[in-house]
């Protein structure tokens, strides 16, 4: 919601009028708070504007009181209104505090759904910072979101694997949940989120593999040669529910320089629905984008969300630091998932992170069953994942 700055206004006053923490207003606006021009637009997070038709007997005071707002909140959105001269039938702009989830993530969650929901979140919560870290083979953006202003940066990602797209829906719901809690001061599982905003910067890439996700959910792409190639690689079947790879038939979570040769030796040698690691590490634009983000991100820990198995993988070649075990035990406590230190798997994103940074990295396998997991599991998956998502901010 935007208001126009008036003579004598301050961002601190806006914080009081709308009952929104001042840091969220500051982070929603690229402004020098000591030098804001009269008439300049200022974003107020956590509100939308609704219309109201004035009825006989209405006053600004009554309308404000009914909505739990000071009269000045209405005056800010209706600068041309004379308070004691409301004309019956005229239109007023009314600020409405958002107290509900503004995006519906319980749906087949393709790249278009992601972009639409991120647009909506950015509109209502402009303190969420958004940028594209790269593009897929087919040119689809790979967005990263950042929220918080702390010195410690925690990174999360989802949908490395195409048929694990429910991980994206889980992450975006958490982003909405977190922002909603911050603005309204409503705790999540008894935890006040505002101290985490000050202490931690959360980095999130909800969908690493947009081409693959769209293939699984929407079917064959229109573009050649990819339309013909993926059909051939999939054995002529138009059922792509078993597809994990990107559109070039490369498994993006086998693309990282962490014993890549060992992974390549035991996996398919040609492109296909799953497990082909490519001709070398970091050949795919999606993997390159994640590598470049990680090299510049100074992440304290990373969480890669996958499905399925209800397990948490937390080690790699005994290179993980001692605190990894403390963290994974907390993740296990709050989720009921089983910690697994090592398995015979290499070249994954968290493997590379542990190897090169010697910091905690985790692969979290959400849910249980056959991928893609059905949306009927969504509620349970979110509730169990929520414990891990919260713990990643306080550990």
Residues 115, 92 share a domain: no
If one counts the domains in the chain, the total is: 2
Looking up residue 28, the CATH number of its domain turns out to be 3.10.350.10
Same domain, yes or no: 208 and 302: yes
CA dist 208 and 164 (Å) reads 11
- Whether residues 290 and 362 share a domain: the answer is yes
Same domain as 143, residue 60: no
Percent pLDDT > 70 in the chain is 100
Same domain, 194 and 47: no
pLDDT digits (tens, 9 = 90+) for 171-209: 999 999 999 999 999 999 999 999 999 999 999 999 999
Helix, strand or coil, per DSSP, at residue 299: coil
Mean pLDDT value across the chain: 97
Same domain, residue pair 301 and 195:
yes
Q: What is the CATH number of the domain that holds 148?
A: 3.40.630.10
Quote the pLDDT of residue 297.
97
| The domain boundary residue, chosen from 97, 131, 150 | 97
Show the tokens assigned to 234: 């999939």
pLDDT of 83 > 90? The answer is no
Q: What pLDDT score was predicted for residue 7?
A: 95
pLDDT attached to residue 167:
98
Number of neighbouring beta carbons within 10 Å of residue 209: 35
Integer angstrom CA distances of residue 211 from 11, 111, 140, 285, 361: 42, 8, 7, 11, 25
- Determine the pLDDT at residue 136: 98
In whole angstroms, what is the distance from residue 93 CA to residue 91 CA? 7
What range does the domain containing 45 cover?
2-97
290 and 162, same structural domain? yes
Domain closes at, from 35, 64, 97: 97
Active site residue 380: no
Please check the confidence at residue 52 and state whether its pLDDT lies above 90: yes
Amino acid 84: pLDDT:
82
Per-residue confidence at 79, pLDDT binned at 50, 70, 90? very high
Of the residues 43, 263, 284, 365, only one is catalytic, namely: 365
Instruction: Name the one residue in this structure whose structure tokens are 């004691």.
Output: 84
Over the stretch 216-262, which tens digit does the pLDDT of each residue have? 999 999 999 999 999 999 999 999 999 999 999 999 999 999 999 99
pLDDT of 85 > 90? The answer is no
Angstrom distance (rounded) from CA 214 to CA 320 = 34
């Amino acid at each position: 919601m935007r208001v126009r700055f008036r003579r004598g206004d301050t961002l601190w006053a806006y914080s009081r009028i709308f009952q929104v923490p001042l840091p969220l207003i500051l982070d929603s606006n690229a402004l020098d708070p000591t030098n804001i021009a009269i008439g300049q637009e200022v974003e107020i997070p956590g509100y939308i504007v609704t219309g109201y038709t004035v009825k006989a007997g209405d006053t600004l005071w009554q309308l404000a009181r009914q909505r739990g707002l000071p009269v000045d909140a209405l005056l800010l959105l209706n600068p041309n209104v004379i308070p004691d001269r409301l004309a019956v039938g005229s239109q007023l702009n009314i600020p409405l505090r958002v107290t509900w989830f503004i995006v519906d993530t319980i749906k087949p969650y393709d790249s278009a759904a992601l972009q639409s929901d991120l647009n909506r979140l950015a509109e209502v919560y402009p303190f969420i910072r958004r940028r594209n870290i790269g593009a897929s083979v087919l040119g689809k953006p790979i967005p990263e979101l950042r929220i918080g202003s702390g010195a410690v940066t925690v990174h999360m990602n989802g949908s490395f694997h195409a048929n694990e797209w429910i991980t994206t829906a889980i992450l975006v719901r958490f982003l909405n949940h977190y922002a909603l809690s911050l603005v309204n001061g409503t705790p999540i599982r008894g935890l006040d989120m505002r101290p985490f905003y000050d202490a931690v910067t959360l980095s999130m890439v909800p969908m690493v593999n947009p081409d693959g996700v769209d293939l699984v959910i929407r079917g064959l792409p229109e573009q050649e040669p990819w339309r013909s190639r993926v059909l051939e690689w999939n054995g002529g079947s138009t059922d792509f529910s078993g597809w994990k790879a990107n559109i070039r038939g490369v498994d993006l979570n086998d693309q990282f320089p962490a014993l890549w040769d060992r992974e390549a030796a035991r996996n398919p040698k040609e492109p296909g629905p799953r497990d082909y690691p490519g001709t070398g590490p970091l050949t795919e634009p999606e993997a390159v984008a994640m590598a470049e983000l990680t090299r510049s991100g100074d992440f304290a820990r990373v969480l890669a969300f996958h499905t399925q198995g209800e397990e948490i993988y937390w080690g790699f070649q005994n290179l993980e630091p001692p605190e990894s075990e403390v963290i994974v035990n907390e993740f296990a406590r709050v989720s009921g998932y089983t910690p697994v230190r090592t398995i015979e798997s290499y070249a994954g994103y968290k493997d590379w992170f542990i190897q090169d940074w010697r910091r905690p990295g985790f692969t979290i396998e959400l849910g249980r069953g056959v991928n893609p997991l059905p949306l009927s599991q969504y509620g349970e998956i979110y509730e169990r994942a929520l414990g891990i998502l919260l713990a990643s901010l306080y550990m």
